[in-house]
Structure 1
């Protein structure tokens, strides 16, 4: 694997969505890292040092909002960009996610162009 690729952590419980995100990110020049449920997220972020996190909001045991709070509560991880990704919020709810501390919001189904553009900007 090319070490010059920036790592993007994807927190997504749907295996098909995860596979799609991984494929898109690889083709876009990123190194995707998967977390299916967000467990141990703080340790994973601390170890992998991703340039960006794509965070599903509706996870089986914890919400993306709660996971964001865990990451933001760590001084050394506070500035890691986190993107909310969900199918359960209309576009006008975007401010709710930004007000909660997410750096960006993407609605599913996600546009490949918008996904890569967003990740590229936040990973710069």
Structure 2
């Protein structure tokens, strides 16, 4: 006994809907797997970026300290050089004043007269 034609159409429609439902479920599973995969990739990427940022911050801090130390050393060196130059200028002035005053003293004039 064959089912009436309407029942056959209904069965084939149901089979089509079942296939379609199965396809949708498969697509849904694929999409969920992809989302989980992307989340894992994002987590790994963030972890790597955090490590790089931490590393770069450490390097930057070291460079900053080095720059500070070198700047301080240069400041001290400049100060020492300035002090040395001021002393040399002062000594040079004193020597010139001493020579001038010695050359213009009365005894120096007498020595020059006797030498002539």
Greater fraction strand: 1
TM-score, with length taken from structure 2: 0.15
Q: Which has the larger radius of gyration?
A: 2
TM-score, with length taken from structure 1: 0.14
Q: Which has the higher contact order (CA 8 A, sep 6+)?
A: 1
Greater fraction helix: 2
